């Protein structure tokens, strides 16, 4: 158990009282009824005070007609890269011109939750034009979460030299819960998040160190394994594993040198975690949620010795997907806060962060519906993509006064 969790467990909190509604532009918000009555383990872990930053937002649709867009990356110039789950990588200009599909990417398994997923510029993109992406890879026996890289052409029409740098094992025949984000630290490493493919059988693999289901993996930029990974000396473990016991991580970021992840719970129990080397985050043994049919998850408990507590959790869910730490000039009061895209009920969740703790929560732009990913544009405006058959890339900025 981490020192952080041990310290936080010294304080128990009962956070089940009715919360006041949050008044904000476009209506009110209240938490709603919980799915379980499992007590939080620590103060501030659940239902932080609701906030209203009273910022009037102005939304502009940059482009529509995207087919289930999943990931977005901001180019240093010339706009944005956007993935569509069915297997297309697109260039979108700032004025909304949508390119033909960029060539050179591998075949994807575009079934149910699978397809082309995240996209990110490499840490040295300005020098080598290397981009990275994650996808559902068709393999013998079914599907696997994979991460790959390649060189983006100067004219933004083609990726050359595409190569996998990680492929999840073993194969799964359930095209569900692929994860999957790819983020970088400042030391030449990539973190790739995976899911556990949903079924009762597969979810157990999140606890197995010889499988990369329900894990965060840490690799070098070329796919080799860092020598200081936590399980490299364990003959029964996969060397790539950084942390385990996760359900379906679709959001990740590195902030102040630390990895934060956010994962889907079942019916309740979405989790935000400071995700540390070698630690077990409990799925499917413990959870603050329940099965979709109302039954218990795993042990039926939310706490167990040797398994980490989430830093924060939700019940009912927000169905978290993308996550960013806001750094920009457009919303100065939000510096260092986390912005999380919500699929259900939709919109954007802002977490007010102080010294790594959640001290407040705000719900924004709920009428956007299913928001899959977020980024910050060059001028500090927020970019959001909506996950629909005809999805949009939307720009969100403070409304101009007067």
The more confident residue out of 26 and 357 is 357
pLDDT at 9 over 50: no
pLDDT at 400: 84
Work out whether strand 130-139 and strand 142-152 pair parallel, antiparallel, or are unpaired: antiparallel
Q: Which residues contact 333 (CB under 8 A, 6 or more apart)?
A: 53, 55
CA distance 162 to 237: 28
Q: Is the pLDDT of residue 45 over 50?
A: yes
> 248 pairs with which residues across the strands?
195
Whole-number mean pLDDT of the chain? 94
Confidence of residue 123 (pLDDT cuts 50, 70, 90): very high
| Among the listed residues 194, 197, 181, the one whose alpha carbon sits nearest the alpha carbon of residue 111 | 197
Provide the whole-model pTM: 0.94
The answer to whether the beta carbons of residues 137 and 106 sit under 8 Å apart is yes
Residue 6 has pLDDT above 90, yes or no: no
So where are the chain's domains?
3-398
pLDDT value at 1 more than 90: no
What are the catalytic residues?
A: 177
CA dist 229 and 34 (Å) reads 38
Among 177, 167, 73, 83, smallest CA distance to 129 is for 73
Topology at the third CATH level for domain 3-398 = Neuraminidase (2.120.10)
């Amino acid at each position: 158990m981490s020192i952080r969790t041990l310290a936080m467990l010294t304080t128990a909190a009962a956070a089940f009282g009715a919360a006041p509604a949050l008044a904000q532009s476009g209506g009110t918000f209240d938490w709603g009824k919980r799915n379980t009555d499992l007590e939080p383990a620590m103060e501030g872990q659940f239902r932080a005070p609701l906030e209203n930053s009273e910022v009037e937002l102005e939304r502009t649709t940059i482009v529509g007609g995207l087919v289930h867009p999943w990931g977005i990356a901001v180019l240093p110039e010339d706009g944005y890269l956007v993935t569509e789950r069915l297997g297309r990588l697109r260039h979108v200009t700032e004025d909304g011109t949508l390119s033909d599909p960029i060539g050179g990417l591998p075949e994807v398994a575009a079934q149910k939750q699978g397809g082309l997923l995240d996209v990110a510029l490499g840490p040295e993109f300005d020098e080598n034009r290397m981009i990275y992406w994650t996808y559902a890879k068709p393999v013998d026996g079914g599907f696997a979460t994979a991460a790959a890289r390649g060189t983006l052409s100067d004219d933004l029409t083609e990726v050359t030299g595409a190569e996998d740098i990680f492929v999840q094992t073993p194969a799964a025949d359930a095209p569900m819960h692929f994860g999957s984000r790819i983020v970088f630290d400042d030391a030449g490493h990539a973190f790739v998040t995976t899911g556990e493919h949903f079924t009762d059988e597969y979810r157990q693999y999140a606890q197995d160190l010889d499988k990369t289901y329900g894990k965060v993996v840490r690799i070098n930029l070329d796919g080799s394994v860092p020598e200081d990974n936590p399980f490299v000396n364990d003959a029964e473990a996969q060397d790539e594993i950084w942390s385990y016991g996760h359900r379906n991580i679709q959001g990740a970021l590195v902030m102040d040198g630390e990895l934060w992840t956010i994962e889907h719970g079942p019916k309740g129990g979405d989790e935000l975690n400071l995700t540390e080397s070698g630690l077990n985050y409990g799925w499917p043994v413990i959870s603050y949620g329940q099965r979709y049919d109302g039954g218990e998850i795993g042990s039926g408990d939310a706490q167990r010795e040797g398994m980490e507590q989430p830093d924060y959790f939700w019940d009912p869910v927000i169905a978290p997907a993308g996550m960013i730490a806001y750094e920009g000039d457009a919303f100065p009061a939000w510096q260092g806060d986390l912005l999380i895209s919500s699929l259900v009920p939709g919109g954007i969740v802002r977490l007010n962060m102080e010294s790594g703790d959640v001290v407040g929560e705000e719900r924004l732009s709920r009428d956007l519906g299913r928001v899959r990913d977020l980024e910050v544009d060059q001028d500090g405006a927020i970019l959001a993509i909506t996950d629909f058959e005809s999805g949009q890339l939307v720009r969100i900025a403070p409304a101009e006064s007067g």
